[in-house]
Amino acid sequence: MGSKPNLNLWLWILLEGLYILALTLKPARHRWRQLLFVAIFSIAGYALVYYRTDYRHLGVGERGLSARLPILVAFASSNLMLCEPHRDIRLIGQKANISELPFTERLWWAVLVWANPRGVNFAHEPTANLPSRPTHTTHISFVLEQLQSILGYMLLLDLVGAMNRANPYYTKDVPVIVGMQRLWWIAGFGFGAAIWLLVSMQFMFLSIMLVLLGASNPNDCPRFFGSPFDGYTVRRVWSKFWHQMLRRPCVTHADFAAKALQLDPNSKNTYILKLTVAFLLSGIIHYISEAVPAESITEPLGCLVFFLLQTVAIVFEEFVIKLARAVGFGVAKCDRSRKGGPNANSEGKPSWWVRVVGYLWVLLWIDFSLPYWTAAGYRAGWTEEIPQFSVILGLWKGDWFPLNKPVM
């Protein structure tokens, strides 16, 4: 560990700049776009193989930067190679032909594409998969609501942190679990919950800054994650609750694979293939983010297993949903329709007791599948990288910065 030199940040900035520059090029220069993509792919690959990405002293996590490079390659592939960006990536209401705009205007458009991976305010925005837009009429009301939410999330993160520190599985050392301690595996979702809360607060702070600086409107800042109450199936966890930052490259590459194989777009096999490709690409990105700091290609393989298992879970639950509908238990058809069945409410959602069963299924599935990914990460020190600040323990024991110590 630590035998490689650290990546020069200017090389990272260069890659981001090459991607933005490639987006500005007119369609007539598509060969230059392709060459720039090859350059981005090659430089990123070289950097990931021969350098570390440890800039924690600057507040940039090692896994964050090692994930950013494959994410950049995935978006460059989607937006430079698999589509014509000036035709297919358009702001809502935009009438001008992007390729006919002056260079400075094309450059600004490219920056907006680069800075907006979810596609908010673009024609390809996945509105059905993103949280609802804020409806605040003033910037102050938006900021106050965000601050109120941040305080609530801080309290939840404190409670989740206490639970995680008490969990014998949640440790850098190989755990010795005996007797009733084995029941702690049920709390395996705690790592994901901590990430959800922590990243949500970071995005809220960013939204506040953008709005106060006048760089964005409150309406342009939907929450980073959806509501956990939308996650009553595994499919909805990934399509409604969890962040959609990688949705465009995953969907674009999945569609490309299906078309390349000339599959029937309406067949079940095509649907399963697209799911598999989407989760595989996401898994590869997360795998690289683990392999680089670990300097190992084998230790993080469980990450790929975790993501590919999500396809298995979704196909399984949709079979169960279809079977349940056949015998009169109503849930939204394959969880992709607004219409429900005899046990659905007026909004098309399953009844409360059906959702409760769904929550239990999702919780048990996450507890079962997540350790394939997190077990190796815990051994690598994940638990020591998540910021630990506890108001509860601070007021109770004077321990404001607990580090992986049991709550009791």
The ranges assigned to domains in the chain are 9-115
Quick one: DSSP state of residue 389? -
Q: Where residue 357 falls among pLDDT bands split at 50, 70, 90?
A: very high
* Residue 387 confidence (pLDDT): 65
Tell me: pLDDT of 406 over 60.
no
Mean pLDDT for 279-287 is 97
- The arithmetic mean of pLDDT across residues 208-228, rounded, is 94
Q: Tokens representing 17?
A: 């700049």
φ, ψ (nearest 5 deg) of residue 99:
-65, -15
**pLDDT higher for 11 or 183?**
11
| pTM: predicted TM-score of the whole model, two decimal places | 0.90
User: What's the one-letter identity of residue 101?
Assistant: L
Q: Is the pLDDT of residue 260 over 60?
A: yes
Please, are residues 352 and 364 in contact by the beta-carbon 8 Å criterion? Answer: no
Calpha distance 275→314 (Å, rounded): 9
| CB atoms closer than 10 angstroms to residue 157 | 23
Mean pLDDT in residue range 356-381: 90
Lowest mean pLDDT among 133-142, 162-171, 206-215: 162-171
Residues 40-48, mean pLDDT to the nearest whole number: 96
> What pLDDT shows up at residue 193?
94
More confident residue, 340 or 358: 358
pLDDT higher than 80, residue 256: yes
For the segment 374-400, the average pLDDT, to the nearest whole number, is: 76
Q: Write down how long the chain is.
A: 408
- What tens digit of pLDDT does each residue of 296-355 get? 899 899 999 999 999 999 999 999 999 988 887 755 554 444 444 445 554 567 888 999
Whether the pLDDT of residue 292 is over 60: the answer is: yes
Residue-wise pLDDT for 112-141, tens only, equals: 999 999 999 999 999 999 999 999 889 999
Q: Report the alpha-carbon distance of residue 400 to residue 391 in Å, rounded.
A: 6
What local confidence, expressed as pLDDT, does residue 330 receive?
59
- Check residues 208 and 94 and name the one with the higher pLDDT: 208
Query: Could you tell me the CA-to-CA distances from 392 to 198, 324, 400 in Å, in that order?
Result: 17, 44, 8
Residue 2 has pLDDT above 70, yes or no: no
- For residues 232-236, give the mean pLDDT: 97
Alpha helices in 186-236 (DSSP H): 190-212, 234-236
